[in-house]
Structure 1
Amino acid sequence: MPLALLALAIGTFGIGTTEFGMFGLLPDVAGDFAISIPTAGWLVTAYAVGVMLGAPAMTVLGTKVPYRRMLILLMGLFVAGSLISALAPGFGFLLVGRVVSACAHGAFFGIGAVAAAELVPPHKKASAISIMFAGLTIANVVGVPLGAYLAQTAGWRVTFFVIAAIGLIGLAGVVLFVPDIPKPAGVSLRNEVSVFRDPQVILAMVVTVLGFGGVFAATTYLAPMLTTVTGFADSSISWILIVFGVGLVVGNLIGGRFADRSLMRMLLSTLVGLAVVLGVFTFTAHGKIAAVVTIFLIGVLGFANVPPLQKRILDKASRAPTLASAANIGAFNLGNALAAWLGGLAIAGGLGYAAVSWVGAALSASAVLVAVLSAALERRRRTGQTAAPTTAG
């Protein structure tokens, strides 16, 4: 494995820890600043909005900047945001720190995916992307529990200092090991924006929103579901989330390996499997062993989609991939927000916590339909291109 991919994975590990680790820090932050937990929840919302808006904005600003230099700047921005959060004298400053870190998030993943794909031969691009994203999945298994432990024993500010240190290690890795990667000839802002005229790019992003949204429809309300429906104690939630995180790691590796062999077949298979498993979770949520097994499978199938989804964006926007790649990271977060909102509507409508699994299944099934449409349009286009010379003759 190229050391450059390891450096990118360390960067995504730090970013993943700060993104998902906030869930475990909310009570400590709320107590420190004497605010309610719902108010502290704005730290999660602000981060998500920062990713969605910051990903394209930072990528546009870096249109003319070489990939390696842009990755260094983004990792530096992430470290700065983490330090602002650690030193924040008030809640407002902490919000600012979160937004600064979020602005680096989407662009780092987007540009990092492009760089990772360029570091390996064409038949290993999806695997390279999965290695970079491995940092994000491992963060769920190691970084998030570690961050919560540090917050409980040494204070939440120490957690952000440690995240900043991880960011510095990632920054050093990029400086030392990521080579200068030339951008495609003629890359400009106009070219970057023009790729969004391709229906396949838009369809790929819609699949991202719906497919990964299905995962978050179930997992956003996983804790109350497990305690009220399944009957687990509050103390069990942490290890169950680790099981889910292990599923993410496994799924990411599987998705990268098999997407290199047959991208669309892998994507459609995992989306169908995810829709089925989410539907089944409505029933297995009532049994402890069955629920844990299902949660693991949701993690596997959910993140097995990520490398092929990101690789498909790079394929369809190959002449100017950077902005499209970053925008697709924003699409993941849009899916998270959409799923959480729809799941909340189901619960508020009196359907119960288990109903959010049906919401997730419906989103993933919708992603299957969009992916099938995309594949059909692609086949029709190829057929037309093949038949055109024959018709002319």
Structure 2
Amino acid sequence: MPLALYLLAVAVFAMGTSEFMLAGLLPDIAADLGVTIATAGLLTSAFAVGMVVGAPLTAGLARRWPRRPALLGLLGLFLAAHVVGAATGDFTVLLATRVIAALANAGFLAVALTTAADLVPSGRKGRALAVLLGGTTVATIAGVPGGALLGTMFGWRAAFWAVALLCLPAALGIARGVPAGPGRQDAAPGLRRELTELRRPRLALALLLGALVNAATFGTFTFLDPIVTGVAALAPLWVPVVLVLFGLGSFAGVTVAGRLSDRRPAVVVLAGGPLLLGGWVALGLTAPHPVAVLVLAFTQGALSFGVGSTLVARVLYEAAGAPTMAGSYATAALNVGAAAGPVIAGATLTTSLGERGPVWAGGVLVAVVLLLALPFRRALGYGGRTAPHP
């Protein structure tokens, strides 16, 4: 894999840390800025909405820019948003910086996904995607707990400053490692032509399945705390342990799936999908047992990100006719799932399922994926077919 891919992954790590770190900072932010915790929670919603809207919008605006300036400009905007956010004492300003940071994050990831696909031979997009998404999984392992620790020791603003500082080596690496040329934009079709690719059933299927798997993943991930402390009756200190195990599993999942998703994507989905469904069912049944929760946190992280990253790789293959917008389609699908999953999972908490509701919701979402994937397994590259449409 080219060095430039790993340099892009450093930036994705910084952005992933920013996206997830608020889970441990909201009470401090609320107390410092004089708002309720529920109001502070709008910071998370604003970021998710910004990610969904920002991917196609920013990619569309930057589609004719050379890749290196586009990546550096979006990373610089992300850095500036965190500097302003760390310095402000006004909640409205902080909320605005989260929207701006999300727009920059979404645009960066969209351009980075397309860049990653261009940096490798046409049959290795899955492995390139695994390297890039490795930055996100490492953020769940080290970045998020690190941000929470900084917030505990030095206040929530320290976590924002740390993310801003992480952007500096990433920017230096991009400036030195990403090719300066325009990539494939100079020969790209018109924007309207690229947008019409969304009408293709195979691409629409890959987008839908990717969003559903991501919804199951983030819906359950968001509510692991009540499962650990409530159902399993573990001490609060075990919550970061479970989160780290989930992160380690997700890193293992994208790494292994990245080696298979280019040649045998249907095998990953149709073999990993039932295992993923079985894991959610097992967690729903065994959540009162701490050992089961610890083991399944790792395995479900691996299966969720393994299957999910394979489906996102299919988006890049199926959107070959939209070379400058393919990354934005994949980014939007990921974040539609990330935004919808916690809403769906949260709604189950007030039902008779209680704190295990998000786990069962995740299982239902994966079951829908399998019901859709089985009849259309050839569209997923069954039998090793990796080529997109003619």
TM-score tier after normalising by the smaller chain length: over 0.9
Match of 1:369 among 368, 371, 385: 371
Q: Counterparts of 1:359 and 1:135 in 2: how far apart (Å)?
A: 27
Q: Find the counterpart in structure 2 of residue 298 from structure 1.
A: 300
CA deviation profile, 1:164-200 (whole Å, cap 9, x unmatched): 1111221111111001252152432112211111111
Is the radius of gyration larger for structure 1 or structure 2? 1
The 5 Å alignment of 1:60-75 reads 60-75=60-75
**2:57 counterpart of 1:57:** yes
Percent identity of the aligned residues?
34
Q: Counterparts of 1:379 and 1:149 in 2: how far apart (Å)?
A: 43
Q: Find the counterpart in structure 2 of residue 25 from structure 1.
A: 25
CA deviation profile, 1:306-363 (whole Å, cap 9, x unmatched): 3322221111110213323213222222212322222222211232111321111110
Q: Counterparts of 2:352 and 2:309 in 1: how far apart (Å)?
A: 36
Question: What displacement does 1:379 show?
Answer: 8.6
One-letter identity of the residue aligned with 1:298: Q
Q: Counterparts of 2:250 and 2:91 in 1: how far apart (Å)?
A: 32
CA deviation profile, 1:58-107 (whole Å, cap 9, x unmatched): 01111211222221221111111111211122111111111111001222
The 5 Å alignment of 1:77-156 reads 77-156=77-156
CA deviation profile, 1:262-292 (whole Å, cap 9, x unmatched): 1222122222221111111111211010111
**Greater Cα offset, 340-349 or 243-252:** 340-349
Q: Normalized against structure 1, the TM-score is what? A: 0.92
Q: Counterparts of 2:49 and 2:69 in 1: how far apart (Å)?
A: 25
Q: Counterparts of 1:220 and 1:337 in 2: how far apart (Å)?
A: 11
Query: What secondary structure is seen at the aligned counterpart in 2 of 1:111?
Result: helix
Gaps of 5+ in 1: 381-393
Asked if the contact 1:14/1:167 (under 8 Å) is kept, the reply is: yes
Question: What displacement does 1:25 show?
Answer: 1.0
Q: Find the counterpart in structure 2 of residue 202 from structure 1.
A: 204
Query: What secondary structure is seen at the aligned counterpart in 2 of 1:182?
Result: coil
The 5 Å alignment of 1:3-14 reads 3-14=3-14
**Greater Cα offset, 113-122 or 228-237:** 113-122
Asked if the contact 2:351/2:357 (under 8 Å) is kept, the reply is: no
The 5 Å alignment of 1:223-262 reads 223-262=225-264
Question: What displacement does 1:120 show?
Answer: 1.8
Asked if the contact 1:206/1:370 (under 8 Å) is kept, the reply is: no
One-letter identity of the residue aligned with 1:166: L
Q: Counterparts of 1:149 and 1:239 in 2: how far apart (Å)?
A: 13
Query: What secondary structure is seen at the aligned counterpart in 2 of 1:318?
Result: coil
Question: What displacement does 1:378 show?
Answer: 7.4
One-letter identity of the residue aligned with 2:62: G
CA distance 1:69–1:305, shift in 2 (3 Å):
farther
Query: What secondary structure is seen at the aligned counterpart in 1 of 2:355?
Result: coil
Asked if the contact 2:188/2:324 (under 8 Å) is kept, the reply is: no
Asked if the contact 1:313/1:321 (under 8 Å) is kept, the reply is: no
